[in-house]
Amino acid sequence: MNVLWAPWRLDYILGPKPDECVFCVPSHTGEDAERFILYRGRHNFVIMNRFPYNNAHLMVTPFRHVGCITELTPEEAHENMELLQSCVRILEQVFHPHGINAGLNLGESAGSGIAAHIHFQIVPRWNGDASFMAVFSETRVIPEHLRSTYERLKPHFDALG
């Protein structure tokens, strides 16, 4: 019998499913730690992916509910790029990845899981992270609990101001 330990998935499996967009966050910060929000800018925020492709998988998304990059205001787009750069710098400093995948899927057919609200993906990668588990078992191994990753990253995002 193969066993894969992923305790954070139980909250998703048993918990209520939101009717609203998961990227339309409240203006108050009381739920930020629970939602894994690392940073709030003026127009965008940084959030950890609850169901990551790899350890420390981050997303940058505008507060405003828009489905396409062409709908961003110049201010939103500028801050979004600044936050993408900050995410890469922080990931390099904290986790020392060998590479980083960064991108945006526009529309469901392009691979977006939540197409109605754009979100940029930043996924750190290490040589060999697609090991035998992914190749033979079609299973990904995330080596660190989400809460531990959040606690490691949060002080670096707090330092952004």
Looking at the annotation, which residues are catalytic? Answer: 119
CA 129 to chain centre: 18
Alpha-carbon torsion (59, 45, 47, 27), positive or negative: negative
CA–CA dist 161, 156 (Å, integer): 10
Burial profile 83-109: b = 16 or more Cβ within 10 angstroms, e = fewer: bbebbbebbeeebebeebebebbeeee
CA distance 126 to 112: 23
